[in-house]
Structure formats: structure tokens, C-alpha cells
Structure 1
């Protein structure tokens, strides 16, 4: 057994560049896994600087120096954040609180509908099982219980101190990352092994793909969220802002997100209109938006993305989401693409090389 493992190790890790690449990947993974909480402002700033580097680079092409370009981009970015904070978030919060307050009446209406179905089709629905299910549902959706959970989440994730740290440190870090990009990259190279050609090859392969993915995902969130909100507002659906935002954010989780957000939309529409023509038109419009997103918008935005099988995408969402939460879900596809790029770039053994030549 030891001989087999030793032979495998020599075949796979005999190349110093492969060892360097693995050491860099393992080091970054350990730092993020164990120190993500402490380094959260730094990591958020790095992601934002990565996204905002493109407009700064465009300004450099037209003759604006990096300091002025970085300052202008930061001002515009903070302006957008302020507009969202004071324009969108209060509406989402109010509608979320209103939805929680209306849950008891929605449940009562749903129970009446179910009771009617029981009376009409007693042979298909067991009243005892239904009563048990309703009791558990009431416990789960108890208004005070939901409010307590919301208060705990707010207390843990949005404390005043954390918000102040992010509001002050992150913009400063983003500005310095953009302004002093070349100096920071040059200074950080001394902490990496000199023999890192393979790691550089993987990074060059992934750099543009990651940027295209993040940019495309942001555009998809905005387009899907705005289109859904317009549909809901025109139809007069309650909580249209909240449900539009949730629909936009649902694209962060491929395949699963759309399924999860469809349930509250269907329930709200049903409790507002019942089985009526308005309900049918709304669900039809919502289905058209989802179809256009999956069959038109996604191929356009992610035409340069690495082709990954849906099973791999879902597995990546589960794995990286479990490791790093929301950020893991957001970067699941780039991380899966990184794993694929590393496997493709990894030095092949002599046997694999011969097989490749035979296949060609």
C-alpha cells in the first residue's frame, strides 16, 4: 500500500511547479477557512477592488492617472451604495415586516382553502395527517417566533460596530488597492515561491473568466430583479419590491434559487387573488422571465464562462456554500472553474501523455 502511494506521489508531485501551485492553493484555502471572520473587511475590499479595476483601467487608457481614476470610481461606487441604502433597503424592510405581520391571516386563508378541498375530496386527503401538519406549520410560522429569529439575525450580522467597520475600512482599502495596485502586487511577490510558472498560468486562465462571471452575475441580478419588480408592480402584487429583490438575488444559486423563490411568490399571489385570472397571468409572466433568463440572458452574459455540467455546479454550490456561506455560494462557479483549470494545467504523467497521443 505504501509503495502504491509513494509511486502516485512521485508521479503527481515530482514537478516543483506542481508543488508550488498546490502550496499556494492550500495556503489560501486555510487562510480563508480559519481567518475569514477576522479578514472579512480585507476580503470584501479585495473582491470590490477586483470588480472596480476595469473602470479604472479604462480611465488610464484615456489619459487619467490611476489616483484620479481610483478616486472617481470610489465616489461613484459610494454614491450607488448610498442610493441603494436609503432608497431600496427601507422599502424591502417595510415590506418584509408587513409580510411577517400578515402571515397569520395568510395561513388562515390557506387553511380554509385546504378544508374546502378536504370536504370535496375526502378520499385523497387524510384529515388527521393534515391536522398534524397544520400544527407543525403554525409552530414554525408563529409570528413571535419569526420575529425573534429576525431579531437574532439582525443582532448577529448587522451590529453597529460591524457596520461602522465596513463603512469606514472597506472604502479606504478599496481605494488603496486601486491606487497602489502595482506596488502592492510587486511587494507581495516576495512572499511566494520563485518557481510559480504553473500558478501564473492558472491565474491568467482564470482572471478574465472570474471577472466576466462576477460582472455577468451582477448584471443578471439587476436585470432579473428589475424585470420581476416591474411585472409585480404592474399586476399590483403585494410586497412587489421585496419579492423582486428576492428574485434577483435568487440567481446567485443556480437552479436551486429560482425554485426556492417561486414558492413565496406563488403563495403571496394565491393569498391575494386565489385561483383567478390575475394569478394565472402573474405566474405566466414570471415563468416567461425565468425562461428568458435561463435561455437568453445567461448564454449572452456567460458565453465566455467555463462549461460546467449542472451536477458539478450544484455540487460546487453545496460544498463551497457550506464552507463559506453566502460568499461561497456567490463564488461557487468560479471556484469550480478554478478546480477544473488546476486539473487541466496539472503536469501529466507519462502514461497520461501516451494515452493522449493515442487518442489523437
Structure 2
């Protein structure tokens, strides 16, 4: 058998199945929509994301014999209350600390240079003179006008304030209808798909379960890590505790890379404030303990299937999807990687089960609307 015959046979087996063509078509449509009008659909997409996170709460309330509309209304009120608390309590504190940081950047840079110079004098074998001179030149060039650059960037983003307010208004509305009418939406999707769809059902079950658990787990991880860091930083009296805690909490969105990047400002602020004292080392040790507990205790508790992905796969997914869709791509890198894995794992299984009669596949249990 020639190579052409082998390729033709493989193409017929893989792409000759109607489900495979439907799945490829759905993926293509989703990609085209996201790449063309994804920005304008951001409120709807955000509402869908939050619905994945809160659907389990609504389902549990219904199991407790609370009427469906009452459960949805209660969850929606809690969500809106959390958003209001974010803007009234947390963001003003973070904004005040950010303004304070911007005004203190020249002093922070000077203090950091003095500390590093003293360290180089005491330990010349560890810090070459050329490195120290290069560091001083870079610091003067990059950080002297950093405060003005930050303010300028913030001012440039002010025209987007109207779009942001519209976004905040439409997200709760989208969330309400996704929670209220998700059964009708799922039923409509079933009607337009083939009746015999074992591949689609298997991929759909794994993707929906993974997406919901991942979003809920990631939001909980952000709250827990950020909250614990704020408590620890406040106990040590670390400056900019709220701002740094917010950065640490949001850093968990980016696996591996986020924790490494956010460590730099934490260490710099602690070093400038405390110098080479025991307080500095206590802050760094406490922060390291938080990161270790997050990676080895909290993440295994909150996530299950995500842990099956190889770290290299996760890093590649973060880089690839982050490059395509920015922060949304980074946030959903692991679920999207899991979706691709589900397609790869399910596709040959279904082909081998279906044999030579792709029109008569076994009928599995359909995806539950709940």
C-alpha cells in the first residue's frame, strides 16, 4: 500500500464521520466569531463565564427546594453586591495605594540603588562593578519618568470608561438570562446537532464539567490567595499591601509565570522598606510559604483534571491562547487545552467503536441540561 493510499484511508476514517465534520464546523464558527466580533460580544461572553461559575450554586439552592427564580434572583443579587463592594471598598484602597506608589517611585528607586550598592560593597565577589553600574544606568533611564508614564496611560484609557460602564450593565443582564434560560439554549443546540452524536456528547460533557469547575476554582483561588496575602502583608506592616495582594491574587490566572513575575514587586517593596533585616526575610519566607501552599495544597483541592496536563502543555497553552485573546486567552488556557485533549482522546475511540458504519453509532446518554 502506497503512502497516498494510507493517507486516503486515514482521511476517510477520520474525516468521513459526520460528527467530526460537525465538530470541526462548530470550532471554526466559534473561532471566526471570537476573532472578528469577540470584543463587541465581551459582555455576553463575560456573562456566560460567570454563569458557568454560579450555575452550581443555583442548582444547589434548587435542590434545597428554593424556587428557581428566587434562587437565580438571590445569586444575581449576591453577584451585584460583590461587584459594588469591589468598587466601594477594594478598588478605592488599591487606587490610593497606586497613587502613593507613583509619587514614591523616584524615592523607591534611589533607596533600592543605595541598598544594592551597600550589598555590593560588603560582598564584592557576588556583585561585579560592571553589573552594578549597568543596573544604575538602567534604573535611571527606565524608572525616573515611570510615574508620569503610568498617569499618561491611565488618562489615555479614560475614553473607554463609557464602554466599561456599558459592560458592567450588560454582564448582569446576560448572566440572568443564561441562568434562567440555559435549558432552552441547550435544547435548541441539541435540535440542530445530529441525533446520533456520541463524540459530541463525550466532548461536551468533559468540556462543560471542566469549564464550570475550573472557573469556580480559579475565582476561589484568586480570593483565597489574595486575601491571605493581604492579611500577611498587613501583619508585617508592608507598604502597598492591598495593591500587592491584588497583584498576587490575579497572578494565579497565569500558571507558573504569574507567580514568578509578581514576586519581583513584592521582594522589591519589602527590601526597600525593611532593608537587609529579619523583617525582610520574614516577609519573603511568608510569601514563599503562601506560594508553596497554593501550588501543592490549594490547587490540587480546587482542580482535578487540570492537574493531568503536563506543565509544558500548560505553558504552551498560556502563551498560544494568551497571544490570540489576551487576558481571556490566558484565563481559559487550561480549559481550552483540556478541550483539545478531549477531542483528541474521543475521536479515535469513536472511530474504532463505529467501525465501517458511521451512520449507526451506539446511542450514549445525552448531556444533561443541568
Fold match (TM-score > 0.5) = yes
Matches within 5 A, 1:128-277: 128=130, 130-143=132-145, 145-153=146-154, 155-156=156-157, 159-192=160-193, 196-277=197-278
Q: Which residue of 2 aligns with 1:30?
A: 32
- CA distance, structure 2, for counterparts of residue 133 and residue 241 of structure 1: 28
- CA distance, structure 2, for counterparts of residue 194 and residue 161 of structure 1: 45
Give per-residue Cα distances to partners, 1:237-277, cap 9 Å, x unaligned.
11111111111111111111111111111110100011101
Give per-residue Cα distances to partners, 1:157-199, cap 9 Å, x unaligned.
8722112211221111111221222223333445545554422
- CA distance, structure 1, for counterparts of residue 169 and residue 125 of structure 2: 63
Q: Which residue of 2 aligns with 1:342?
A: 343
Q: Return the TM-score normalized by structure 2.
A: 0.87
- CA distance, structure 2, for counterparts of residue 113 and residue 201 of structure 1: 58
Shift of 1:134: 2.4
- CA distance, structure 2, for counterparts of residue 330 and residue 4 of structure 1: 40
- CA distance, structure 2, for counterparts of residue 172 and residue 319 of structure 1: 31
Which residues of structure 2 form unaligned runs of 5+? 356-370
Q: Which residue of 2 aligns with 1:283?
A: 284
Query: Which is further off, 233-242 or 59-68?
Result: 59-68
Q: Is the 8 A contact 1:16 1:195 kept in 2?
A: no
Q: Which residue of 1 aligns with 2:15?
A: 13
Q: Which residue of 1 aligns with 2:98?
A: 96
- CA distance, structure 2, for counterparts of residue 43 and residue 135 of structure 1: 45
Q: Which residue of 2 aligns with 1:110?
A: 112
Check 1:86–1:41 CA distance in 2 against 1; reply closer, same or farther (3 A cut): same
- CA distance, structure 2, for counterparts of residue 125 and residue 288 of structure 1: 28
Q: Is the 8 A contact 1:217 1:252 kept in 2?
A: yes
| Secondary structure at 1:159 match in 2 | helix
Check 1:191–1:160 CA distance in 2 against 1; reply closer, same or farther (3 A cut): farther
Q: Which residue of 1 aligns with 2:361?
A: none
- CA distance, structure 1, for counterparts of residue 186 and residue 134 of structure 2: 61
- CA distance, structure 2, for counterparts of residue 124 and residue 288 of structure 1: 27
Give per-residue Cα distances to partners, 1:191-246, cap 9 Å, x unaligned.
54555442222011222222112111111111111111111101111111111111
Shift of 1:11: 3.2
| Secondary structure at 1:254 match in 2 | coil
| CA-based RMSD | 2.4
Q: Which residue of 2 aligns with 1:40?
A: 42
- CA distance, structure 2, for counterparts of residue 301 and residue 5 of structure 1: 43
Give per-residue Cα distances to partners, 1:81-131, cap 9 Å, x unaligned.
101111001111111121122111111122223333444555665545543
Which residues of structure 1 form unaligned runs of 5+? 354-360
Q: Is the 8 A contact 2:238 2:270 kept in 1?
A: yes
Q: Which residue of 2 aligns with 1:71?
A: 73
- CA distance, structure 2, for counterparts of residue 42 and residue 195 of structure 1: 30
Matches within 5 A, 1:252-331: 252-305=253-306, 307-331=308-332
Query: Which is further off, 277-286 or 60-69?
Result: 60-69
Shift of 1:283: 1.2
Q: How many residue pairs get matched?
A: 350
- CA distance, structure 1, for counterparts of residue 102 and residue 170 of structure 2: 34
From 66, 85, 88, the equivalent of 1:86 is 88
